[in-house]
Chains A and B, each alone.
Chain A
Amino acid sequence: MEVLISIVIGILFAAATYLMLSKSLIRIIIGTGLLSHGAHLLILTMGGLKQGSAPVLVKGTEQYVDPLPQALILTAIVISFGVTAFFLVLAYRAYQELGTDNMDLLKGSDNDE
C-alpha cells in the first residue's frame, strides 16, 4: 500500500513541479495546490498506513491509526488554504494592475528602483 501511495505522491510532485515551471500564473497556482496535496498525503503515508480504527476512543477497540500525523496535516491544510487564498487574490490584483499573467512579462527591469 505504501508503495502505491508513494508513487501517487511522486506523480503529484512531478505534475506540481511541471506546472510551477510554466509561464502562466494560473498554472503556477494550480501547481502549488497539487504540491500541498502531495505533501499532505506524504505526511499521512509516512505515519504508516496500518489498519486500525479511526482515532476516536471507543470502548473495546485495541488498535487505532496514528493520530499525530492527522493533527499535523489538519494544521497544514488550513495554512496552505490561507496561503493559496492570498496567492489567488494577489494574482487577481496583479492581473488587474499590470494586465498580464505571463511570468516573463512580470519581471522587473534594471531601471526599476
Chain B
Amino acid sequence: MSLIHWAILSPFLMAVFVPFFRKYIHKIHTGWFVLLLPIFLFTYFLQFLNETMNGKTVIKTANWIPSIGVNFTAYIDGLGLLFALLITGIGALVVLYSIYYLSKVKESLHTFYVYLLCFMGAMLGVVLSDNIIVLYTFWELTSLSSFLLIGYWYTREKSRYGAQKSMLITVFGGLSMLAGFILLSIMTDTFSIREMIPQVSTLPDHPLFIPAMLLVLLGAFTKSAQFPFHIWLPDAMEAPTPVSAYLHSATMVKAGIYLVARLSPIFAGSSEWFWIISSFGLFTLFWGSFNAVKQTDLKAILAYSTISQLGMIMSLLGIGSAAIHFIDVPDNLYMAAIVAAVFHLINHATFKGSLFMVAGIVDHETGTRDIRKLGGLMSIMPITFTLAVIGTFSMAGIPPFNGFLSKEMFFTAMVNVTTLDIFNMETWGVLFPIIAWVGSVFTFVYSMILVFKTFTGKLQAEKLPKKPHEAPIGILIPPIILASLVIIFGFFANLLVPSIIKPAVASIMPRVVEGKMAAIEIEYWHGWNTELKMTLGVFALGALLFLTLAKWSKLYNVFSKRLTLNNLYDYVLLSIEKTASTLNRFYMTGVIRDYLVVIFSFFILALGSSLVIKDAFAIDLTHVAPIRLYEAVLSLVLVAGVVTILFAKSRLTAIIALGAVGYSVSLFFILFRAPDLALTQLVIETVSVALFLLCFYYLPELKKKEKKLRFKVTNLVISLGVGTIVTLIALSANSNRLFESISSYFIENSYKEAGGKNIVNVILVDFRGFDTLFEITVLGIAALGIFGMIRLRLSRGKGQ
C-alpha cells in the first residue's frame, strides 16, 4: 500500500467518520469537515503533474489476490490524472456548494456525505486502477453510490423510480463490461491494461476480439448515457442538485468516456470501433440536443444537454481512433479529434457543473425550476445571471468562452473525417458534419432558452412559491470559480495543453503521438475556414429558431407521446414481471399431483432418451437363471395382488391385497435363498398391515375422486412409462455386468475374521455395522416422531 492507494481509499475511510461528526458536532455543518478531504486530494494529485508532463507514469502495486493476478495497481498517467483532478477539484466545489444548499437541520447530512464520499473514492478508483477487475469493482461502487444519491429523498416516488432505473441500466452495462473484461483477459492472459497494450498487434485476429469490444462498449454506453441507454439520466435529476452537478455532469457519466479512452490503445484501429463509437456518439449528440429543446424543467434541459455533449465527446474519440491508420503521415488531422475530445471533456465539466449549480440556486431562491413560471430574474439575481450567461454561451459555442474553442475543433474533426479514405467513409462520411451541425444548432437553441427564458422577460412573481432574491455569497462561490475557469480556459487555452491535454492524449494514443506532441496547439483564430462558417451558420439559424420557437415547437407534438424509449423501458420492465408471475402461476399450482407429474415425466424422458441416445438397451440372456414353476406362479399371485389394490373399492380389500403382495415378496425371498429377509419381511408386513388397519379405522372410506377420464389417462400413461423404464433399465443393467461381485470376500472371511456363519448378519453388524447403527437411529427418530405427533397438541392459538 503506497500513498496513492491511501489517497484512493481515503474517501471511504472518511465516510466512516462522517456520522460521528454529524452526531457530536452539531453547530458546524458536517460538510465543512468533508470539504477538507477533496481539497487535500486535489493538491496531492496536482503534484503528479510534473511527472506526467515529462511523459512519466507512476505505478504502485498493492497485493490483493496475487494468486490469480488481481492486484490493486494504482497507475497514474495523463488520462488518469486529468480525471483525478476533475473528480477531486469539482468534488471540492460541489461539497462547498452543498454546505449552503442542504439545510443543516432538515436534511440527514451524514447519509448524504457518506454516499458522496463513497462515490468520490469509487470514481478515483475507476480512473486510477490498472487492473481491470479492480476497475470493475470500483465501477460498480460508483453505480451503487449513484443509486443511493439519486434516491436520497427516498420518500419521493420519483426519486425511487429514477434510482431504480439508473441502477438497472448501469448495472446491466456494468455486468456486460465485466464479461468483456473477462474475454479480454482470456485473450491477453493478464488483467493489467498496461500489459495488454503491447499485445495489441495480435488481438484483432482473435475470435473474441469483437465480442469483447461490444460488451465493453455496452458498459461504457450505459454509464455515459449514450443512445438508447440515455433514458436514465433525465430521471436521475430527482437527486439533490449538488449530486446532479457532480455525478451527472462532471464525473460519473464520464466514466464511460474514460473507459473508451483508456481502452482505445487496445481496440482503436478496427473499423467496428470507429463506426460504433462515432455513429452512436453523433446520434446521441443530435438526439440529446433535439430533445433538450422541448424540456420545461431547468435540470431536464441540462440532463439532455449532458447527454448531447457526452455524445459529442464520444464521437470525437471515435473519429480520433482513425489516427492509428495515419501514423506515418506527419500532419495528423485525426489526432486533433482526440485533443478536441480531451479539451471538451474539461470544458464540459466546468460549464456544466456551473450551470447545474446555477439551476440549483434558481430553484433554491424561487422554489421552482419550471421555465414556464420563471422569467425576469436578471435584475434580481445579477450574479447568478452572469454565471448562467457564461455557462450557456460556452455551451452554445460562442466566443470568447472555452466552448467556442472545443466546438471549432469538433467541426474541424467532422470536416476532416469526410476526407478519410478508409472504413468506407466515402459513402456515409458526408453525413458526419451535417448531423454534427444540426445538433449544434439545437444546442444553441436550448442554451438560449436556458438563459433567456429564466432571466429575461417579465417576472411572474405570483407564480413563484418564494419571493426571489440574490443567493448568499457562499453558494455562489463554487459556480463563480467554475465560470472563471470557463473564461480562463477560453482565453488561455494553451495553458492546459502542455500540462494536461498532451499527457492525456499520449495515454489515449500511445502509438501515434511520438514526435507529434509539438503539433498540438489550440488556437483562437484559424483563419476564414469552413469551421468558422459553420459556426456562424449555427449562430444565425439558432438565433432564428430561438426567436420563432413558439411557431415551430408544435413540431414536437408530431411525435407520439407513447412512442418513447421511456415507455418502452417501462413496458419491458412490466412485461418481464407479468411474464414471470404468469409462468410461476402456471407451473407452481400448489397441487402435489402436478409436481409429481412433472417429476415422473422428467424421469421418463431423461432416462428414456439417454437409453435411446446411448443405445444402452441390451438383453443378454446368457447369464440368466432358468425360470422355475414356483417363481412363475408366485409372480402371478403378486401381480394379481397389485391389480386388486388398483381396483379395490373398499379399504379393507386394498389393505389385504397389500398384505398379500408383501407376503408374496417374502415368499420370493425364500425362493431366492434369503432366510433373514424372508423373516424380516414377514414380521414387518404383519406389523405394517396391523398399523394400516389401525389408522384406516380412523380414515374415511376409499372414494373414487378421480372422475375425469383425462386425469386417469395421464396417470395411466405416466405410470406405464415409469414401469417400462424401470424394467428396461433392470434388463439392460443385468445384461451388462462389468465385473464380479465383491461378495466372495464376505463369504471367505465371515467365519475366519468375524467368527460368524450367517454371512448376512455378519455383514450387518460387523463388516458394515455403521449402516445398522443409523438404521436403528432412523427407527428411533420415527418412533419419537410418531409419539410427538400423537401426544403434542398445540392448539391453534398457541401454535401460531
B-binding residues in A (CB < 8 A):
1-27, 29-30, 33-34, 37-38, 40-42, 44-58, 64-68, 70-71, 73-75, 77-79, 81-86, 88-93, 95-96, 101-104, 106-109
Contacts and interface: CB of A to CB of B under 8 A. Distances in A.
Contacts of A101: 699-700
Contacts of A73: 674, 677
Contacts of B750: 57, 67
A44 B772 contact: no
B645 A17 contact: no
B658 A34 contact: yes
Interface string B593-625: 100110010000000000000000001010111
Interface in B733-768: 733-734, 741-743, 746-747, 750-751, 757-760, 763-764, 768
A23 B698 contact: no
Given A15-B719, A46-B730, 19 more contacts: A1-B631, A10-B726, A12-B723, A18-B716, A21-B597, A25-B699, A33-B688, A41-B665, A47-B741, A49-B672, A55-B759, A57-B747, A67-B759, A67-B763, A88-B695, A91-B695, A91-B699, A103-B592, A109-B590
The 10 closest A-B pairs by CB, nearest first: A14-B723, A10-B727, A82-B782, A18-B719, A17-B719, A57-B757, A55-B759, A67-B759, A71-B763, A10-B723
Interface in B501-521: none
A78 B673 contact: no
A51 B628 CA distance: 11
B624 A3 contact: yes
B734 A45 contact: yes
A31 B51 CA distance: 82
9 contacts: A1-B627, A7-B727, A9-B727, A10-B726, A15-B645, A17-B715, A45-B730, A66-B741, A67-B743
Contacts of B676: 70, 74
A90 B80 CA distance: 69
Given A4-B635, A24-B702, A78 B775 contact: yes
B789 interface: yes
Contact of A89 (B631, B665, B786): B786
Interface residues of B, number: 95
A21 B746 contact: no
B692 interface: yes
Contacts of A12: 638, 642, 661, 723
Given A6-B734, A85-B691, A65 B674 contact: yes
A104 B778 contact: no
A66 to B, nearest CB: 5
Nearest to A92: B695
Interface centre among B661, B672, B779, by most chain A C-beta atoms within 10 angstroms, is B672
Nearest to A29: B692
Interface centre among A9, A15, A93, A103, by most chain B C-beta atoms within 10 angstroms, is A15
Given A14-B723, A95-B698, A5 B631 contact: yes
Contact of B631 (A4, A48, A85): A4
Contact of A66 (B692, B700, B743): B743
A83 B691 CA distance: 12
Majority-rule SS of B interface residues: helix
Given A42-B730, A46-B730, A77 B677 contact: yes
B100 to A, nearest CB: 50
Contact of B642 (A11, A40, A58, A83): A11
A58 B777 CA distance: 33
Given A11-B639, A44-B669, A17 B627 contact: no
A1 B719 contact: no
B727 A27 contact: no
Interface in B677-728: 677, 680-681, 684, 687-688, 691-692, 695-696, 698-700, 702-703, 705-706, 714-716, 718-720, 722-724, 726-727
B758 A56 contact: yes
A21 B718 contact: yes
Given A1-B627, A10-B723, A48 B741 contact: yes
B790 interface: yes
A102 B705 CA distance: 8
Interface of B: 590-593, 596-597, 600, 619, 621, 623-628, 631-632, 635, 638-639, 642-643, 645-646, 651, 654, 658, 661-662, 665, 668-669, 672-677, 680-681, 684, 687-688, 691-692, 695-696, 698-700, 702-703, 705-706, 714-716, 718-720, 722-724, 726-727, 730-731, 733-734, 741-743, 746-747, 750-751, 757-760, 763-764, 768, 771-772, 775, 778-779, 781-783, 785-786, 789-790
A103 B747 contact: no
Given A21-B715, A92-B699, A101-B699, A57 B669 contact: no
Given A54-B673, A101-B700, A6 B684 contact: no
B580 to A, nearest CB: 16
A44 B695 contact: no
Nearest to B765: A71
B593 A103 contact: yes
B601 to A, nearest CB: 11
Contact of B673 (A13, A53, A68, A91): A53
A11 B747 contact: no
B764 A74 contact: yes
Contacts of B703: 24
A26 B693 CA distance: 11
Given A55-B760, A56-B759, A103-B591, A27 B673 contact: no
Interface centre among B699, B746, B750, by most chain A C-beta atoms within 10 angstroms, is B699
B629 to A, nearest CB: 12
Contacts of A18: 646, 715-716, 718-719
Contacts of B789: 89-90, 93
B673 A22 contact: no
A66 B673 CA distance: 10
A41 to B, nearest CB: 6
A89 B778 contact: no
B591 A17 contact: no
A1 B627 CA distance: 5
A19 B674 CA distance: 29
Contacts of A8: 635, 638-639
A89 B92 CA distance: 73
Contacts of A44: 668-669, 672, 674, 677
A90 to B, nearest CB: 7
A36 B457 CA distance: 91
Contact of A20 (B596, B624, B654, B790): B596
A37 B746 CA distance: 26
Nearest to A22: B706
B625 A51 contact: yes
A56 B674 CA distance: 10
Contacts of B600: 17, 21
B24 to A, nearest CB: 43
Contact of B646 (A7, A15, A109): A15
Contact of B786 (A48, A79, A86): A86
Contacts of A92: 695, 698-699
Given A74-B680, A103-B593, A34 B705 contact: no
Nearest to A80: B684
Interface centre among A17, A48, A83, A92, by most chain B C-beta atoms within 10 angstroms, is A17
B768 A71 contact: yes
Contact of B727 (A6, A51, A57, A96): A6
A30 B778 contact: no
A108 B744 CA distance: 53
A70 B669 CA distance: 9
A82 B687 CA distance: 11
A23 B658 CA distance: 19
A38 B669 CA distance: 13
